[in-house]
Amino acid sequence: MIYKELIEAIKILESKKRLIGIDLGTKTIGLAISDPSMTIASPLETINRKKIKIDLERIQYLINEFDVHGIILGYPINMNYTTGPRTQSTMSFAREIEKVIDTPIILWDERLSTSAAEKVLINADLTRKKRKLVIDKMAATYILQGALDRIRNHKK
């Protein structure tokens, strides 16, 4: 099931289960994983996009491997809260995930996630070439961490 609001999905997310974060790009898919306590997000990997079937098989493998209970999918809303072609592409991808992977999919506002991740990498003094290799999974980490923080604050 696809949730547009994290609050709707919180009640179905089991505690002590991992979540996976996804930053969907046109050429790559950045992935991050939470710890079992759903407190800390860590970069996992970057998938170079091929065909949707192959990409989803890799995501399914990781979900099974890490016993993931939910997906936090970066949802690219414009700064003025409108939607555009990237938003539609992300919804299409979410529907494709839903067809083959039986886990909740939660859309999470990803505005500025890539630029925030880029700032962290620049501050870490990574070269442009090295940043390019990790930016997508770092953006996924930023997306996932934002959702984890929201879940934790809601449960208080």
Q: pLDDT of 18-54, one tens digit each?
A: 999 999 988 999 999 999 999 999 999 999 999 999 9
Q: What is the pLDDT of residues 98-151, one digit of tens each?
A: 999 999 999 998 765 566 656 665 666 656 665 555 568 888 998 999 999 888
Closest CA to 22 of 14, 31, 35, 13: 31
What is the C-alpha separation between 64 and 88, in angstroms, rounded? 27
Q: DSSP code of 48?
A: E
Q: Which pLDDT belongs to residue 86? A: 83
Q: Helices marked H in the chain — which ranges? A: 6-10, 52-65, 85-100, 113-123, 128-155
Give the homologous superfamily in CATH for domain 2-155.
YqgF/RNase H-like domain (3.30.420.140)
Give dist(CA 93, CA 110) in Å, integer.
15
In tens, the pLDDT along 65-81 reads 999 999 999 998 766 77
| Residue 69, both tokens | 């209970």
CA–CA distance, 25 with 59 (Å, rounded to integer): 15
Average pLDDT over residues 59-64: 96
The overall average pLDDT reported for the chain is 85
User: Are the beta carbons of 139 and 117 closer than 8 angstroms?
Assistant: yes
